[in-house]
Chain A
Amino acid sequence: MYNSVGKRIPRYDGIGHVTGRTQYVSDVTMPGMLVCKTLRCPYHKARIKSVDVSAAKKSPGVYAVITKDDVPHNLFAMVPDHHVLAEEITRYKGQNIAAVAAVSRDAALDALAAIEIEYEELEPVIDPEEAIKDGAPQVRPEGNNHLFDGNSLTRKIRRGNIEDGFKEADFIVGGRYTTPSQEHAPMETCCSVAYVDASDKLVIHSKAQGLYFAQGDLANVFQLPLNKLKFVGGTIGGGFGGMNSIHTDHIAGLLALATGRPVRFALTREEEMLFSTIRTPWIFEIKDGIRKDGVITARHVKVLHDCGAYTELGLYAVEKNANLIAGANRIENLAVDSRMVYTNKMPSGSMRGFGVNVGQYAEQVQLDRLAHAVGISPMEIRFINAFRTGDKNHTGNELAAVSTIETLQKVAAMSGQKLPEKYLAMSSGSAG
């Protein structure tokens, strides 16, 4: 009935990979293609007092030098609050300020060096817990704290009453968990090749993981109708979520429009590591009430997400995190208070389960501590509190096809743990 289930089938692109014939975006070349390099802010935060690109434009081999004034609509990203080329204030180290298209890398770098720019270095805030304090240096004019629905410091989830739940508890267990920044580090750095074709369509060979997101976003930046903007995807040398954000497509496209020539903008390894979006840091504080029999009676989670300087996918991550932070556990009395704060760092992008796995790290370690407090095994506490089919999850949705118990049974078997008969007899579909 099936052609492939249960069978080994060769990858459709496998031969191309082992013979070197697979074409990645950074392998695309075109006759007369120009090289793009960008001027990036050397400070975590600065005011640009003046920029003069007149000498750079006269530098040998230069076709175009652009700044914010040359961008039709200078805002982009999923939450479009990020400047394609910096306005007066730069908010993270490495933010793009100006871009050059020239006949060679050396010519482009010489032109960058000829840009006259005057900065006033401003005091940044890097630590998210410093950034939420009154009087902290302001990352953005509206303040450092993201206001949910325009007015609330916290994105809240409420179920039952945690005060009642804590009264019912025999133990109260607190835990604080932090996760650091992480860079995707794909083997192929981000790269775009852009050109205007014979029908005046702007074509961009892109590493974007969401071609249609990028197309819609950048049609706005270029102020082009969608039928004048074509994205070409294909095989990419790794994304890991990092290519859900735009790093090169916008500037390559602008320079192709400005010059009428094909333009390649490829990040160096240093640029990729230091200035592209990342998995940004999180801080979790969990307070649990638990009875002697192992039932969690209340949980209060405070989340702080360090979003970096622009929203990018930070809100998306906060939302996913808030919905899943309490884990696959029946918890009748729950409060989640999630905050998001801006700091002078590169923005919060998507990366492999972003928002979810960081929270699960905190939640799973906390469960082990609860087990230790009560004097039961880490397996037992998970069986005792596990979601079953038909339960309502923490945001009130009824759960279908739950497999918590079966997963635990399999983990126990794989790790050689002997389970008591009563846990082996349980199933996610049964009442209890």
Chain B
Amino acid sequence: MSRILKFNLNGNPAEVKVGEADTLLEALREGLAFTSPKCGCNHGDCGACTVIVNGDAVKSCTVIALTAEGKNVWTVDGLAKGGKLHPVQKAFHEYGAPQCGYCTPGMVMAAVAFLNRHPSLSSLTEEEVKDALSGNLCRCGGYKKYAQAVIAAARGDFGPLPEQEGSGKNV
């Protein structure tokens, strides 16, 4: 039995036909052609499918699509506004963190959710960053640069972190 899922995607109303057992990842990729969340394992192990739902970084391959009804979902597509990159995107690019890039959209969303929720960015530690990204695998081995880039973004090296739309904080 298919049903219509209505939710908010990157700040815009969205609706898509989904099966009862379909995952949010399938709804985004196959139903709506948003291919930035990637499927690496389909078991919640690799983090390539990470998106932000109501402020939390979640692995969309483990979320039943229909449970996202009425919620605010952000993919990496919604972060850059008018060609202006989010500081985390700028930092990843400047630090040369992505190699093959397949893990990058999930890595960006995990990092953004972490920074949005962090109570005191000035006292952020490297261990906290590593912990926040520990659910996201990078087979090319770019972990160090990803972690350094998140710390730089938290420090404000790439401009202030947006407070409202696009940050996931407004959800």
Q: Are A237 and B43 in contact (CB under 8 A)?
A: no
Check: A32 CB closer than 8 A to any chain B CB: no
How many residues on chain A are close to B (CB under 8 Å)?
30
Interface-lining segment among A11-19, A329-337, A411-419: A11-19
Interface-lining segment among B62-70, B116-124, B136-144, B161-169: B136-144
If A187-B137, A188-B38, A269-B43 touch, whether A20 touches B100 (CB-CB below 8 Å) is no
Q: How far is the CA of A184 from the CA of B141 in the complex (A)?
A: 13
- By secondary structure, the B interface counts as loop
Check: B35 CB closer than 8 A to any chain A CB: yes
Q: How far is the CA of A188 from the CA of B139 in the complex (A)?
A: 10
Q: Are B38 and A187 in contact (CB under 8 A)?
A: yes
Check: B7 CB closer than 8 A to any chain A CB: no
Check: A236 CB closer than 8 A to any chain B CB: yes
Interface-lining segment among A22-30, A53-61, A67-75: A22-30
Q: Are B77 and A19 in contact (CB under 8 A)?
A: yes
Q: How far is the CA of A16 from the CA of B30 in the complex (A)?
A: 20
Check: A137 CB closer than 8 A to any chain B CB: no
Nearest CB in chain A to that of B45: its residue: A269
Contact residues on B (Cβ < 8 Å of other chain), bracket = 35 or more
Q: How far is the CA of A236 from the CA of B139 in the complex (A)?
A: 12
| The residue from B39, B46, B101 contacting A26, defined by CB atoms under 8 A apart | B39
| The residue from A14, A27, A237, A238 contacting B96, defined by CB atoms under 8 A apart | A14
Q: Are A18 and B41 in contact (CB under 8 A)?
A: no
B88-107 contacts to A, CB under 8 A, are: 89-90, 92-94, 96, 98, 100-105
What are 15 A-B pairs with beta-carbon distances under 8 A? Answer: A17-B104, A18-B89, A18-B92, A18-B93, A19-B89, A20-B36, A184-B139, A186-B139, A187-B40, A187-B100, A188-B38, A189-B40, A237-B102, A238-B139, A269-B40
Residues of B within 8 A of A (CB): 29-30, 33, 35-36, 38-43, 46, 48, 75-77, 79-80, 85, 89-90, 92-94, 96, 98, 100-105, 108, 137-140
Residues of A within 8 A of B (CB): 10-11, 13-24, 26-27, 29, 184-189, 235-238, 240, 268-269
